[in-house]
Structure 1
Amino acid sequence: MTFGEQPAYLRVASDLREKIANGSLPPHTRLPSQARIREEYGVSDTVALEARKVLMAEGLVEGRSGSGTYVRERPVPRRVARSGYRPASGATPFRQEQAAEGARGTWDARSEQEAAGRETAARLGIEPGDRVMRTRYVYRDGGEAMMVATSWEPLAVTGRTPVMLPEEGPLGGCGVVERMAAIDVVVDNVVEEVGARPGLAEELLVLGGVPGHVVMVVERTFYASGLAVETADIVVPADRYRLSYHLPVR
């Protein structure tokens, strides 16, 4: 194979992908059978099978037991705004980050103490085994799960204070900045690192999707004078949402 040439299965997959994109193969249409692909493109069964596998891995088609492979409905991605800290305006941080105006955001949360694992400890600048408060969230828009998150806060900072439980007490449900200010900890910056990976089984069970679907992961950490006071993993389905950053220019 010379430089620039594609393997046959990728050429077939590329042509089928184009037909899906331009509407020649609209959503819910059955993908040509393996035999049809073999005849139409003059390729082997192996090539035809590999081309179908590529489209399935990309989430463009899905198999239906006993029926065949069909083009998936492609949702129009919605925005999730990530605009940094904004002073309290009567809206919770989640509502401030809603994907669209008029969205009806709700969430469930569960907190429990645990010993920090190695990765969590590194992100918080503490020792593995130090106690943290872990809180798991499921965020919904109009009843549909749109993202899941797990946050960790060092109990050396929040332990035995009114804000030890993020979703309970007088500041339950408020953002990290407001909660920390209540115990005289001034948050002055936040770092977010965005990556992508296949969703974990337990994440996809909540968010919807099949094994292999890609999720975006925002690793967020709040700092107060260099001290990490909260770190979190925010997981968003990549096929349904886009992260939109609006940052001030100084």
Structure 2
Amino acid sequence: MMASANTLCARIDAVRATIDRAAKQYGRRSEDVTLLAVSKTRTADEIRQAVACGQRAFGENYASELQEKSAVLADKALSWHFIGPVQSNKTRLIAERADWLHSLDRERIARRLNDQRPEQRPALNVCIQVNISDEPSKSGVAPEEILGLAEQIRALPRLRLRGLMAIPAPTDDPAQQRQAFAQLRACLEDLQTRGYELDTLSMGMSDDLEAAIAEGATIVRVGTAIFGSRSG
């Protein structure tokens, strides 16, 4: 069920308040943390409501939804982020429609995106997805594979490597949450010491965004806490 406009705005305000509180607690500036509203399976009308509440960045998991919603909402100045697994037969849609890709984990996909990125658009901002918890079911490269993929991406002119993304194994333990996010931060810092100019840690969702902010998240991906639970 679609939330009322007032409910949606209240939820967005509550998430932003959590971000502000966590940023202050850990000595960070809240403006350095971008709230990415995960809008997969949500309608264009729901996104339009969120836009009316001041939200501008939206994350999609399916290329077809990204294509449809970005076209319907082309009258709005929005930032579209693709955050799901990338299928090779969907790279053109992502290259044409997305401003960001958070889930890059293969050179072959990187080359397709580079070749298919329209010349009139800026380079596609990308993050390497890291399987930080070594889960067989999760996409992403192992930490020791990050540098090799980063070197390959750096050679592609239509892509701009911005940082790293991870979805750690779920846990309710804040200490374990922070440990996983700290690992990703250490991976980013290693790349920075090697001369990569990176500024993005895409980590943290509705249930662990405070731990992510504590460890340096610059983009938090929040769906349920904004739009509510999905039906079906």
TM-score by length of 1: 0.22
Bigger relative contact order (CA 8 A; separation at least 6): 2
More strand by share: 1
Larger radius of gyration: 1
More helix by share: 2
